[in-house]
Structure 1
């Protein structure tokens, strides 16, 4: 066991892709994602990260971070099959550290959240025995793209999109995201500076994030995407203010992403959606041709500090 360093990013990425192959049948983790996680300003690598080795081979990885400033703590945990004692030791460490961080925030308990594939390499019975429980399910949806089938769409009347090339528009996008996503499960308010750190702004292609202006309402929606996954283009967020919903804006933003990436030569696009989302996002995406690729559960542990 030892903490991770920035120099371990490639080895961690390789481990996660090995797990991906077992869980979803293909490598789905990009090096930039791991680098962003390890550089997160709310992670103290010496105390919030752990690498598990079997001899010289990296077989497990865990990371913990705190975006709430309160009781809510997030964690990642990956381990190869056949490593149950090591996997449980990683949980001992991250659960204890989560209690420390929640206590430092003045909270009386730590509420940990962890995302796991619905058929993970981890022993779920062992997880349940530790007190973890499933609290939410997310679907990763995907859709085939082609330049012929997905031309750039015509916007609804009074709607225009602009990319976030200017700092002013990036701040507008952040403000819209904070307002539109506030009722979503597990939403944590973020300042602009925290948000740009979360998304690894230095490596972000801002031309792939758009703000939607609606005549009579002003700026009312954000489409955030990125093009750094080998397997598919990715839609990170479709966020529409409550006052602008039921106008076809969400569907237009989807098809804008479809057309944009089809024109770039991408043949597949995906996104993740909370299956209990009260805004009806799952049904919207399915109506526009997206279908289940794989599913992920949010697991929760409540621990007194």
Structure 2
């Protein structure tokens, strides 16, 4: 009630004349009113969208307060909530034997820390560095928020153009993704900054059989729930990703597409599931994590996984048998 009084009173002050004549202090008071209202709304169930709208009104009509706290509140509200029982376990530099016996053989996901700290990319790579090392190079880019959307397409452009159109420009639904299997062969300077994880030596294939992939895109990029035919080490270099995993034993509850082309992809939107259309999805047992720079996620073969970038993100994945 107090926050509404503050907002009503300051709204009148913001609208008494031309915008340039509005005292900035009144704009700050309006932002405080939005902050107080948001703190009250955080206790309400299913109010996230309305709460973010109040924050946006404070950012549009108010002025920055408390080190731009309304932006930070939005980031918290948009961060996925992961219950403790659903968190993927985390290990620091396990031995090859420990990883093999406890995760690879039983096919259990795990987040590994401390195994890529020595990689040059962890210190060198940034958007500016990618411009410098490869800005003029032409690469394939996926256009659209996810490959299951009708408007999804592919095109060729330079890395500079990709960064300008999809990384620097932050229009909603303006999503492009650099998903490249040949990037490190095409640009060997980048390949010199990474290494094949030692744990891949536990596999059956040769080093030449390991596929190295680059995944570079803006906040909000989504890989729909899908499964791959090989083991996967996903290394996070820049930014954070929210990742949702579940066992291949859950396949029946995930409603894979019936077409041959998308048979490895679920029809369910993980974060906004239609439980009327896909009722079995409610029974699914899953694990999740927020993968941060320097962390490596082991995704066992055919494990279902959904990925959403929380920031501008660059990841490297290693597919191995």
Answer yes or no: same fold by TM over 0.5. no
- Per chain length, whose mean CA-contact separation is higher, i.e. which structure has more relative contact order (CA < 8 Å, sep 6+)? 1
TM-score by length of 1: 0.24
TM-score by length of 2: 0.23
Indicate the structure (1 or 2) with the bigger Cα radius of gyration.
2
